[in-house]
Structure 1
Amino acid sequence: MPAWASRPTVPVSAPAAVPEQSRGEHTHSEPPAPGIVARGVVERTSVRGQVLDALRAALVSGDLAPGEVYSGPALGERFGVSATPVREAMQQLAREGAVEVVPNRGFRVTRRSDRELAELAEVRALVEVPVVTRLARTVAPARWAELRPLVRATTAAAVVGDRAGYAEADRVFHRALLAFAGNDQVVRVADDLHRQVGWSTSDLAVDAHQHVVLLDALVAQDCGAVGLLVREHIGG
């Protein structure tokens, strides 16, 4: 498996936030909790990356709730780091559409409507369905064995109900699948879309089983089935 396909370890399991009333909204402030602690000289980008992983996991699990506002200093205290890497990680999440900036307050977790999720799924299907269907015709069936460990990873996360782990394993699987096309821009665009809708899956077991069926259809080079399965899986 290529190095980029390994799921990064998320060192923080964020506790539920305790709201603090301010200007008619809840801005969350939490007590310190074990988590990301710099030991010696730690690269700033490494800390930011760990915080970003932890925030993404908290978004998937619901520990960071849609519609709520969270401040950089409060989240920094929760994770045992300064506010700077938290703000930098939150800015990345804002670019991905997961949160929005609230001036002088912090960041509000995006609350997506059913219509927005459906629109994102439609766009994602427009990108992935034709690409994967073409791959079913052009990639040697034996090559798909490379994705079996990634499919098993999604199944393992689904079995234990690890939503954060599942979201990351699912993202890695789709990145690896699309990478067969040899088009970095397709992978990047699809990955951005996946991050925006990846935590909306309601039934992990069903979603994971779709990976198994899709991979079997790719091995069989059943292009018609592949197209239908990708569309169903994405929900577009």
Structure 2
Amino acid sequence: MKQGAQGSAATEAPDPRPRPERVPAQARLADRDRDRDREGDRGRGRGSTAGAARGEHTHGEPPLPRPRTVLRRSSVRGQILDALRHALVAGELIPGEVYSAPALGDRFGVSATPVREAMQQLANEGAVEVVPNRGFRVIERGARELAELAEIRALIEVPVLLRLARTVPAGRWAELRPLAEETVRAASSGCPATYAESDRVFHRAVLALAGNEQLLHFAADLHRRAQWPLVGAAPARGQAELLADAAQHLALLDALGAGELTAVQALVGEHFSGAS
């Protein structure tokens, strides 16, 4: 038996086919990860532009930031947005008219891209609407909308101001007097857009004493909407009307500092009806 077993082993022919080399499990995982990374790189190369345009994130590493480019573009867009808001309040952008980004870009001496981005922001705010393949149309607003905005502003801000009149020391109101006086100087220029900006700064400073960031956000949006031009309206308010409006800021501070609640409520209601 022993001999037969040995003979059988001796006569067994070796398998001529090469046996596959066994790859350790860790190595196989590493190879798979490298293949997946290479495939991901190819996919990102093909689709990163489209994904970025949609604001989507890829599954790979995010692109390296470009602070100089981003800051420069953001600065241009912000300046164009301010310029468009100025033109809107000044009546240079006419309600119902359509304006294209390239034409506005020529006006400001920039490309159409930052103009389009700024106009999109105005569309988000409700100042303009997108007209496909043409540009942006300035929203047509009537007196009723202005009255509704004044009512909403009063509902939100009057209770806040009455509470502040009871709780904020007179000295704090006196600190805001320079801002009120600045609105008078802005009104003296006779420029509605210049006055509108100083007016927003003053009202924001007053409401900031409430310590409510959400209030500031919603109040600023309503305030800005109240300053947009009306369709078919008379020319923008002149210097005399702006000065009368600015004088109400000084009177309001005096009433708040003295805690005269009835006067505060009356002044705010009159002020808002004047769209400031």
Q: TM-score range by the shorter chain?
A: 0.7 to 0.9
Deviant stretches of 4+, over 6 Å? none
Number of positions where the alignment pairs a residue of Structure 1 with one of Structure 2? 197
1:36 corresponding residue in structure 2: none
Distance (Å, rounded) in 1 between the aligned partners of 2:186 and 2:254: 20
Alignment of 1:53-202 (within 5 A): 53-199=82-228, 202=237
Distance (Å, rounded) in 1 between the aligned partners of 2:90 and 2:213: 29
Secondary structure at the aligned position of 2:176 is classed as helix
Distance (Å, rounded) in 1 between the aligned partners of 2:188 and 2:271: 18
Secondary structure at the aligned position of 2:92 is classed as coil
Secondary structure at the aligned position of 1:101 is classed as strand
Distance (Å, rounded) in 2 between the aligned partners of 1:72 and 1:50: 15
Secondary structure at the aligned position of 1:120 is classed as helix
Q: Rg larger in 1 or in 2?
A: 2
Distance (Å, rounded) in 2 between the aligned partners of 1:172 and 1:60: 16
1:137-170, CA deviations, whole angstroms, 9 ceiling, x for partnerless residues? Answer: 1101100122111111110111120211100000
Flag structure 2 segments of 5+ consecutive residues without an equivalent.
1-67, 230-235
Secondary structure at the aligned position of 2:140 is classed as coil
Flag structure 1 segments of 5+ consecutive residues without an equivalent.
1-39
Query: Where is the strand percentage greater, Structure 1 or Structure 2?
Result: 1
Query: Where is the helix percentage greater, Structure 1 or Structure 2?
Result: 2
Q: Percent same amino acid among aligned pairs? A: 67
8 Å Cα contact 1:141-1:220 kept in structure 2: yes
8 Å Cα contact 1:167-1:199 kept in structure 2: no
8 Å Cα contact 1:175-1:191 kept in structure 2: yes
Distance (Å, rounded) in 2 between the aligned partners of 1:199 and 1:99: 11
